[in-house]
Amino acid sequence: MDTKKFETLNLQVIQISIRYTSLRLIIPWTLRQKFSKYSGQLTTKNKRRESLLLSADSDGESVTSYHLIINKKEMKIETIRFKQRFDPHEVSGMFRYEKLDGKWVIAESKSRFTMDELDYQEKSTYRYKKFDEIWLVHRIDQVLKQGNKIVQSHRFKITDVHNTF
């Protein structure tokens, strides 16, 4: 295969990978799907919060453990910390929610991690649009900072939705 054809094929594979990754961000797994290969225990922190510590059932999972703080009254995850096999090894995140038609949606997520002895902060804001009576993520603005310096930013936007059901 000549170099030009290989570069074109490689670029197509990268684009497909980006689309798949972006799709998983926009259409997330249910918590049951996400944590199906983990087991753990739920403990009460106080009247309003519970702590759920999950560990991977096998060594094949890239994320080895999750620690979630759950608001019992609102039934939503307030903070999440996870450990993984690759850098960054430890990531902690927080969520800000809004209500749309009486249901909670994530409006903003923030995470912090250290990699190669440098501290990073990531912030994602989510905008929703109603398509056929269903609120879907319409736009994601994501910024990664090292200190006060922006090192990466992305904007994902859905411009068209077709009902396939």
**Based on the domain organization, do 23 and 39 belong to the same domain?**
no
**Based on the domain organization, do 81 and 97 belong to the same domain?**
no
**Based on the domain organization, do 149 and 107 belong to the same domain?**
yes
pLDDT in tens, 112-160: 999 889 999 999 999 998 887 888 888 999 999 998 999 999 998 887 7
Q: Listing from the earlier edge strand, what are the strands of the sheet with 49-56?
A: 38-44, 49-56, 63-71, 76-84, 90-100, 103-115, 118-131, 134-146, 149-157
Structural domain of residue 68, as residue ranges?
Answer: 35-86
Distance CA 137, CA 131 (A): 10
pTM of the full predicted structure? 0.70
The tally of domains found in the chain comes to 3
**Based on the domain organization, do 121 and 53 belong to the same domain?**
no
Residue 111 has pLDDT above 70, yes or no: yes
**Based on the domain organization, do 66 and 110 belong to the same domain?**
no
**Based on the domain organization, do 80 and 24 belong to the same domain?**
no
**Based on the domain organization, do 4 and 64 belong to the same domain?**
no
**Based on the domain organization, do 98 and 154 belong to the same domain?**
yes
**Based on the domain organization, do 5 and 47 belong to the same domain?**
no
pLDDT in tens, 62-89: 889 999 888 888 888 888 888 988 888 8
Last residue of a domain, one of 48, 70, 86: 86
